[in-house]
Chains A and B, each alone.
Chain A
Amino acid sequence: MDLFANLWLGLSTAMTPVNLLYALMGVFLGTAIGVLPGLGPAATIAMLLPATFAMPPVTALIMLAGIFYGAQYGGSTTAILVNLPGETSSVVTAIDGYQMARQGKAGRALAVAALASFFAGTVCTLLIALFAPPLAEVALKFGPAEYFSLMVLGLIASIVLANGSILHALGMIILGLLLGLIGTDVNSGAQRYTFGLPELADGIGFVTVAMGMFGIGEIIANLEHESTRDVSIKEVKGLWPTRDDFKRSIGPTLRGTALGSVLGILPGGGASLAAFGAYALEKKVSPNRHEFGKGAIEGVAAPESANNAGAQMSFIPMLTLGIPANPVMALMIGAMIIQGVQPGPSVMNEQPALFWGLIVSMWLGNLMLLVLNLPLIGMWVKMITIPYRYLFPAILVFCAIGVFSLNNATFDVYFMALFGVIGYVFKKLDCEPAPLLLGFILGPMMEEFLRRALLLSKGDPMVLVTRPISATMLALAGILLCLVLLPAFSKTREEAFQEE
Chain B
Amino acid sequence: MLRIRAEKDFWAGLLYVLLAAGFLWFGRDYKMGAASRMGPGYFPLTLGWILFGFGAISVVRSFLTDGPVIGGVAWKKLAIITAAILAFAILLPKFGLIFALPALVLLSSLASEQSEYDLKSLLALVGLVAFCIIVFVKGLGVPMPIFGSLFDGIVPPSWQR
Contacts and interface: CB of A to CB of B under 8 A. Distances in A.
Interface size class of B (residues with CB under 8 A): 35 or more
B86 A417 contact: yes
B146 interface: no
Interface string B45-86: 001101100110110010000001010111001100110111
Interface of A: 51, 165, 167-168, 170-171, 174-175, 177-178, 181, 185, 187-188, 190, 192-193, 195, 216, 219-220, 223-224, 226, 228, 387-390, 392-394, 396-397, 400-401, 404-405, 408, 410, 413-414, 416-417, 420-421, 424-426, 428-431, 446-447, 450-451, 454-455, 457-461
Contact of B8 (A178, A228, A429): A429
Contacts of B23: 178, 193
Contacts, number: 184
B88 A405 contact: no
B140 A51 contact: yes
Interface string B92-123: 11000000010011001101111110000100
10 contacts: A174-B47, A181-B44, A216-B81, A389-B109, A408-B142, A417-B89, A420-B85, A421-B82, A454-B35, A454-B36
B48 A178 contact: yes
A393 B36 contact: no
Given A188-B39, A458-B36, A226 B12 contact: no
Given A170-B54, A454-B38, A400 B43 contact: no
B19 interface: yes
5 closest A-B pairs by beta carbon, nearest first, are A459-B36, A459-B35, A413-B89, A190-B40, A429-B12
B51 A451 contact: no
A396 B55 contact: no
B147 interface: no
B128 interface: yes
A393 B47 contact: no
Contacts of B90: 410
B82 to A, nearest CB: 5
B35 A223 contact: no
Given A389-B112, A396-B84, A417-B85, A190 B57 contact: no
Contacts of A174: 47, 50-51, 54
Contacts of A188: 31, 39-40
A457 B38 CA distance: 12
B116 A192 contact: no
